[in-house]
Structure 1
Amino acid sequence: PGMPPDVLDSVFRRFEPRTNGGRRRGAGLGLSIVKSFVELHGGAVRIETGKDKGTTVICTFPDMPGIRAAAE
C-alpha cells in the first residue's frame, strides 16, 4: 500500500514501533540495520513509496567500496 509520509520520518530509527492497520509490527530494527550496513560500505539508502504503489528500498554501493569502522 505504500508508506505514509509520517512513517518516512522515522523509518530508519532503531526500536521505533510501527503500526500496520490495527496491529503493531516488530521492534523496528530492519531498515536501521540495512542503513548502517550500507553506509559502512560507503553506500546510501533511499525509499521510493507512494499510496497504492507499494514501497521500494534502494541500496546503492560505490564501485570501489571503502569499508569504514563501525560506530556501533
Structure 2
Amino acid sequence: MARLTEQEIQNNIFKKALDREMLRQAKYNYLTNTVKDKRLKKLFKVFDMTATSHIAELKQEMQNLDIK
C-alpha cells in the first residue's frame, strides 16, 4: 500500500478546508437572503463575511505553498 507524502497530506487538508469553508459560506449566504428575522439576518451576514475572510486566507496560504 502506497503511503502519502507529507506534501500530499498537506495539499489534501488545505483543499478539504477550502471546500468546507466555501460550503459554509454558501449556506450562510443563503440563510442571510432567506430569513425574515432581522437579528438572524445580521448574524448570518457576519458568519458569511467571516467565512469569506477564511476563504481568502486559505487561498493565500495555498498560493504561498504552491497548492493548486
Decide: shared fold, TM above 0.5: no
TM-score (norm 2): 0.32
Pick the structure with more helix per residue: 2
Larger relative contact order (Cα-Cα within 8 Å, sequence gap ≥ 6): 2
In terms of Rg, which structure is larger? Answer: 2
Pick the structure with more strand per residue: 1
TM-score (norm 1): 0.31
